[in-house]
């Protein structure tokens, strides 16, 4: 069952990385991790949600769940898989979810259980003692703690208001009470940082997009070659 908030102390790790929306592109992620010299014994990987749909290796991405070096937050595509098995399959199917229908019903249910067995908000203590927050789409309130105490799930998984506000040149999206916050959901031409907020979905689920990885302490990006 999903939870609102989870905290992980990863200060003992070598590096902590965050990856944008993967959308079933397991092979691209595997190559990207190799390119970054990711070490499963020493490092940790966090997905900002939307592990599945649109790509051709969704089941392989689901297999990452539960690995001791991996964690994801719940995105709108995870939620759509839940809607799929609850009887609302249309919106999921037209958004790249047809692969789920091809699985036996028991496997569908297990897959959705795995995808939804996470949190909407994740807070991590990093090797450099930064406190980093992760959420799929957006935050409703201007402090991290307010979002924990007064959660708005629809904002966490679906909202695009924060990205729209970036069109205003002097808009400061800084979230107080946390060092950095990482978002997915909104496909950008390249990663964007403003204030203490990072948008790292670079459209991996689309033909002209690519996958991006970031070291959350050093702000070093590793990008899929396109």
Q: Say if CB 46 and CB 19 are below 8 A apart.
A: yes
Instruction: Name the 3-class secondary structure at 107.
Output: helix
Element (H, E) at 148: helix 144-149
Q: Say if CB 132 and CB 197 are below 8 A apart.
A: no
Q: How far apart are CA 114 and CA 118, in angstroms?
A: 8
Q: Which of 23, 72, 77, 136 is catalytic?
A: 77
Cα Rg of the chain, angstroms = 16
**Among this protein's residues, is 84 annotated catalytic?**
no
Q: Say if CB 159 and CB 186 are below 8 A apart.
A: no
Residues with Cβ within 8 Å of residue 138, at least 6 apart in sequence:
155, 156, 159, 160, 161, 162, 163, 183, 185
Catalytic residues: 77
């Amino acid at each position: 069952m999903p939870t609102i908030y989870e905290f992980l102390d990863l200060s003992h790790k070598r590096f902590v990385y965050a990856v944008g929306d993967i959308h079933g592109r397991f092979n691209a992620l595997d190559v990207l991790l190799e390119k970054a010299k990711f070490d499963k014994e020493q490092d940790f990987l966090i997905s900002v949600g939307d592990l599945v749909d649109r790509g051709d290796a969704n089941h392989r991405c689901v297999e990452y769940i539960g690995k001791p070096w991996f964690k994801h937050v719940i995105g709108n595509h995870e939620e759509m898989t839940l809607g799929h098995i609850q009887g609302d399959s249309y919106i999921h199917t037209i958004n790249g979810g047809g692969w789920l229908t091809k699985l036996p019903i028991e496997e569908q249910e297990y897959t959705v259980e795995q995808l939804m067995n996470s949190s909407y908000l994740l807070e991590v203590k990093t090797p450099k003692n930064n406190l980093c927050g992760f959420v799929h789409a957006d935050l409703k309130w201007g402090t991290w703690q307010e979002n924990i105490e007064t959660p708005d799930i629809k904002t966490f998984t679906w909202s695009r208001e924060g990205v729209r506000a970036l069109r205003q040149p002097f808009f400061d999206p800084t979230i107080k009470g946390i060092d950095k916050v990482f978002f997915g959901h909104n496909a950008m031409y390249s990663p964007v940082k403003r204030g203490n907020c990072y948008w790292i979905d670079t459209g991996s689920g689309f033909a002209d997009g690519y996958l991006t990885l970031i070291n959350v302490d050093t702000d070093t990006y590793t990008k899929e070659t396109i």
